[in-house]
Structure 1
Amino acid sequence: MTVLDTRLPPLRLGALTVDPAVVLAPMAGITNPAFRTLCREFGAGLYVCEMITTRALVERNEKTLRMVRATAEERDAFSVQLYGVDPATVGRAVEMLVDEGVAGTRPAHVDLNFGCPVPKVTRKGGGSALPWRRRLFGDIVTAAVRAAGDVPVTVKTRIGIDPEHHTYLDAGRIAQDAGAAAITLHGRTADQLYSGTADWSYISRLVEAVDIPVLGNGDVWEADDALRLVAETGCAGVVVGRGCLGRPWLFGDLAAAFAGSSERALPTLREVAAVMHRHATLLAAEHGEQHGCADFRKHVAWYLKGFSVGSTTRRALAMVSSLDELAGLLAGIDDQPYPAAVLGEPRGRTTPPRPVALPEGWLDDRDDPRPPRGAELEVSGG
């Protein structure tokens, strides 16, 4: 594999320095404190918590308040992503985070989610459907920036709703004018969901259209993908989501790559097993052993992707209920080298494309500033 020699300067978001310029994308049920800690142990960058809904935060939902607690290691760089559709509610949520230090932690960075393509969100006008209403989009970003004060606010979005309804250029310019510190662009439209291949050319166009930093997102499966993304688009950094599922050491590879090193981690199965047990241990410390092990089960297939592990053992691991049981099962697996055949392959969701569900008349007036009715989510995490 040819390794590009690309050194990337740190990303500056207000007073926050992200070095290397690598961000962990929020993923529901994944980017909890345990996973963020694990990723941080392998590399540096910015690790964003699971998506927090502004309505739930403002109403002081107990689960949501727990989700905005930072770990001891991230108190100086705690990053929160918010989902909201009403400028007043978004502004109030940001005020709570910044001024009140909800759950004892003042974030160093706030990101706004306008990229979610899930039908239950878009059919109400939220997520990746919302930037189509450009006045409303601008009002939300403005409210967040004003409430945030010296805390940098960034925006994450997609190319648009579908090939006929692109929003990314307007979104970038509006976010910049509203005071956003940076914008992340996922190189897919909402109707693509997570199918096909991300089109990075749109990231290049956004880089040319705005003066604030643009972060590239989509199909960063390996560190060398990140190098190509930066080289091809001129983006200021990368946002990594599905590529790190079952591979938290990817952040170490990314740190090495952006420092100009060709070193890449290819852990043996025994080494992967140690990471698996560490991950489960962190979850157990967070949720209690039984719940932590139950939560870990969904990670098993990602960690073992490509390895020769029998179906009986895989099933047992996917039903593990204690750390000792997990340790015993992992100890019984023969060591083997990392399966190079899976390098660069997609991970996580690969749902096929489908038309975007939208509210009736949503596309009629781009300058309608009214929040979409019923689009507020009451539960954080996605």
Structure 2
Amino acid sequence: MVLAPMAGITNVAFRQLCREFGSATSLYVCEMVTARAIVERDSKTLEMMTFGADEHPRSLQLYSVDPKNVTDAVRIIAAEGMADHLDMNFGCPVPKVTRKGGGAALPYKRRLFAQIVRAAVEAAAPAGIPVTVKFRVGIDEEHHTYLDAGRIAEAEGAVAVALHARTAAQRYSGQADWSRIARLKEAVTTIPVLGNGDIFSAEDAVKMVRETGCDGVVVGRGCLGRPWLFRELHAALTGQPVPAGPSLGEVGAILHRHAILMVDHIGEDKGVRDLRKHMAWYLRGFPIGADLRKAFGLVSTLAELEDLIGKLDHDAPYPAEAEGPRGRQGSPGRVVLPEGWLDDPEDAAVPDGAELMHSGG
């Protein structure tokens, strides 16, 4: 089981919370960081790369479109012991990334894709750091790249691949096509294949494994406001009874724990304010009233949060309305690409000005 990196979400506090519910054998990946930002010692990026004192393995997702920057960044990571595992991002559909040829746009350039994966693997090898690769089905329905991407990553030394079973054009809309995961599993035979997309419950994870034969699952939006999903996933995937969802009192305690971890990470003012975006996810489906719900969304201090938690009906059971998709969905759209990007899939040139400085996706 893998917690997918999510911008503004999978900081050290949220990862620790998920780890407390999940399995020690799972991976909890920090927010995406860029190779160039590591090379240039960007302070914001280095702060995002914070790991807990007992966090192991320390899992880092890296973005780049330039093999040289990948080599330099991974050498720094290895030499300074910054991470125990590297995941290469080739799945981000955000326009500011794809317009530079990065994320989900990059696997279309097969030679450049291979060079980047090879650069990461070779630079990480002396330190024994494993490299995994995550990608999407392709750019759009006319430009599928996932089968080539899987075979290339396998050949270049990645220890596992993960497929988000949507195209970049779909973004997070519609349904993930799990049949693509099954096809990738048939094409990639010597390393594990992980499935990603539309896992919102333990039952979804079991169904994905059963239907596709994948070796593991990657969960992103499904655990928003629901870190205990990792407890349910572990039970389901190991053949144990899946525990019932938490009562509202238990959710309040988890929310308070999240707040304490955020305050430890970035201080009370920033930590509690950052937690506001999680409130609707935590409280989804529970009958708490509009005024109280609004107050949670405006909370500014730990004392305020504790007072609001005390006003909840702690005996309220976990509601069926809390189940189902959560987080961003949006609409499909045209993928923004560099000019002429689709002309030659064998072109290995790095696009001009392609390297983003800003981490986080």
TM-score, normalised to structure 2, is 0.97
Task: Tell me, yes or no, if structure 1 residue 234 matches structure 2 residue 213.
Answer: yes
Residue of structure 2 in register with 1:331 after alignment: 310
Any residues of structure 2 matched to 1:95-134 within 5 Å, and which? 95-101=75-81, 105=82, 107-134=83-110
Aligned partners of 1:332 and 1:119: how far apart in 2? 42
Cα offset, 1:315, TM superposition? 1.4
Residue of structure 2 in register with 1:17 after alignment: none
Residue of structure 2 in register with 1:209 after alignment: 187
Aligned partners of 1:152 and 1:117: how far apart in 2? 25
What is the DSSP-based 3-state SS (H/G/I as helix, E as strand, rest coil) of the residue aligned with 2:293? helix
Task: Tell me, yes or no, if structure 1 residue 176 matches structure 2 residue 157.
Answer: no
Q: Please, which of 136, 141, 144 is the counterpart of residue 163 of structure 1?
A: 141
Q: Which amino acid aligns with 2:29?
A: V
Aligned partners of 1:375 and 1:41: how far apart in 2? 38
Please give the per-residue CA displacement for 1:260-302, whole angstroms capped at 9, x wherever unaligned: 0122231111110111111011001111101100000000000
Residue of structure 1 in register with 2:277 after alignment: 298
Task: Tell me, yes or no, if structure 1 residue 256 matches structure 2 residue 239.
Answer: no
Q: Please, which of 158, 170, 175 is the counterpart of residue 192 of structure 1?
A: 170
What is the DSSP-based 3-state SS (H/G/I as helix, E as strand, rest coil) of the residue aligned with 2:166? coil
**Does the 8 Å CA contact 2:161/2:192 hold for their aligned counterparts?**
yes
What is the DSSP-based 3-state SS (H/G/I as helix, E as strand, rest coil) of the residue aligned with 2:121? helix
**Does the 8 Å CA contact 1:269/1:338 hold for their aligned counterparts?**
yes
Aligned partners of 1:268 and 1:297: how far apart in 2? 20
Residue of structure 1 in register with 2:65 after alignment: 85
Residue of structure 1 in register with 2:47 after alignment: 66
Aligned partners of 1:51 and 1:243: how far apart in 2? 18
**Does the 8 Å CA contact 1:188/1:218 hold for their aligned counterparts?**
yes
What is the DSSP-based 3-state SS (H/G/I as helix, E as strand, rest coil) of the residue aligned with 2:211? helix
TM-score, normalised to structure 1, is 0.91
Q: Which amino acid aligns with 2:62?
A: L
Cα offset, 1:232, TM superposition? 0.6
Q: Which amino acid aligns with 2:5?
A: P
Cα offset, 1:312, TM superposition? 1.3
- After the TM superposition, which segments of 4 or more aligned residues of structure 1 sit over 6 Å from their partners? none
Single out whichever of 255-264 and 363-372 deviates more from structure 2: 255-264
Q: Please, which of 103, 110, 131 is the counterpart of residue 153 of structure 1?
A: 131
Residue of structure 2 in register with 1:9 after alignment: none
**Does the 8 Å CA contact 2:37/2:359 hold for their aligned counterparts?**
yes
**Does the 8 Å CA contact 2:284/2:321 hold for their aligned counterparts?**
no
Cα offset, 1:341, TM superposition? 3.0
What is the DSSP-based 3-state SS (H/G/I as helix, E as strand, rest coil) of the residue aligned with 1:230? helix
For structure 2, the 5+ residue unaligned runs are: none
Residue of structure 2 in register with 1:340 after alignment: 320
Aligned partners of 2:36 and 2:130: how far apart in 1? 21
**Does the 8 Å CA contact 2:164/2:196 hold for their aligned counterparts?**
yes
Cα offset, 1:374, TM superposition? 2.2
Residue of structure 2 in register with 1:219 after alignment: 198
Residue of structure 2 in register with 1:363 after alignment: 342
Q: Please, which of 100, 114, 137 is the counterpart of residue 138 of structure 1?
A: 114
Single out whichever of 126-135 and 254-263 deviates more from structure 2: 254-263
Aligned partners of 2:50 and 2:261: how far apart in 1? 15
**Does the 8 Å CA contact 1:277/1:327 hold for their aligned counterparts?**
yes
Counting aligned pairs with the same residue, the percent is 62
Cα offset, 1:342, TM superposition? 3.0
What is the aligned length?
Answer: 355
What is the DSSP-based 3-state SS (H/G/I as helix, E as strand, rest coil) of the residue aligned with 2:169? helix
Please give the per-residue CA displacement for 1:148-168, whole angstroms capped at 9, x wherever unaligned: 012110000000000100000
For structure 1, the 5+ residue unaligned runs are: 1-21
Q: Which amino acid aligns with 1:359?
A: P
